[in-house]
Structure formats: structure tokens, C-alpha cells
Amino acid sequence: MKLIEIKRNTSSDVVALQNISRKTFIETFAEVNSPENMTSYLAEEFSLDKLSTEILNPNIHYYSACITEEVIGYLKLNFGTAQKELQDENSLEIERIYVSKEYLGTQVGQLLLGKAITIANDKKLDFIWLGVWEKNHRAIRFYEKKGFEVFDEHLFIIGDDKQTDLLMKLKL
């Protein structure tokens, strides 16, 4: 396999970020959600306007995993007030970590998670937390193997469907 580069996204990366965001969300969740709910969620969460605004927010960091120029996965980190639930200054939230279906099982997810852990350690944070759909057993196992533990749950809404995410935490 070719060398995988993890790079911080800037405004010039917004179209590629939108493409990988939509692609991986569809690959992961289209089979278990209605087309209407998927369309609604994709339009709301992955619009160019929203992604452009988020990239400019100093408390939101996007990173892409790339092979040559191809984006094969990405990571979204939230700090401070950008965090969805806890907004703890001593933590960071991994809001999204997705890998293209054809690259699952090739260490890309581990590299992206490693990037988040490195950043958290560099900032001397106490913990990393994230939400993962309670029925995404592959992701839950991945995080548990890395030392994450469930500490709570929250509601995740796709269109008109209310789903439960497990909140998981990794103490540093």
C-alpha cells in the first residue's frame, strides 16, 4: 500500500472534504436509513457553506487521510465550545472519523485516531470523547480495543429518525 498522509484541511480543501464526507456517510449508513432521511442529513451536515464555516472555526479541525491526491478518510475534532456535549476545556471531541469502504481494515482509521491522540497529548488534555451509533458494532469494537469506555449516551437525529449514540471516553 502507498504512503498515507494525514493533513489538516484548509478552505481550499472544502470540496474534497464534502465529497469524502458524503461518500463515507452513505457507505456507512444508507442501508439502515431511509433515502429521505439520508438526503436531509447530507444536505444539512455536509453543505459547502457549513463545511466552509467549520473549517474557519479555530475550535474545529478537519484532517484528511490521503494517498497521493486521493482522499480516503477524514477526521473532525472539536475543541472548547465547539464540542457537542461536554465542552470541557481539558478534552477534545472526535465528532467524525470515517474511512472509505475500500480502505476499511487497512490501518487508516488507526492513523486518524492516532492523529487525534497525538493532538490531545500535545495540548496536555485529560481525555478524548466521541459518540458512536449503538448499532455500529464494528466501530464500537475498534474504540474499545483502543481503550475507550462507554460513559453515557445521546440522541442522534437523521432526518426524522431518532437514534441512540453511545458516548465513549479515552482517558489520557
Q: Answer yes or no: are the C-beta atoms of 95 and 57 closer than 8 Å.
A: no
Q: Check: CB of residue 38 under 8 Å from CB of residue 158.
A: yes
The contacts of residue 58 (CB under 8 Å, 6+ apart) are: none
Exactly one of 62, 63, 74, 143 is catalytic; name it. 143
Judge contact between 92 and 78, C-beta under 8 A.
Answer: yes
| C-beta atoms surrounding 122 within 10 Å | 8
Q: How far apart, in Å, are the Cα atoms of 4 and each of 8, 25, 59, 73?
A: 13, 21, 25, 10
Q: Is 143 a catalytic residue?
A: yes
Residue with cell 474545529: 60
Label residue 6 left, alpha or beta by phi (over 0 means left) and psi (-120 to 50 means alpha). Answer: beta
Active site residues: 143
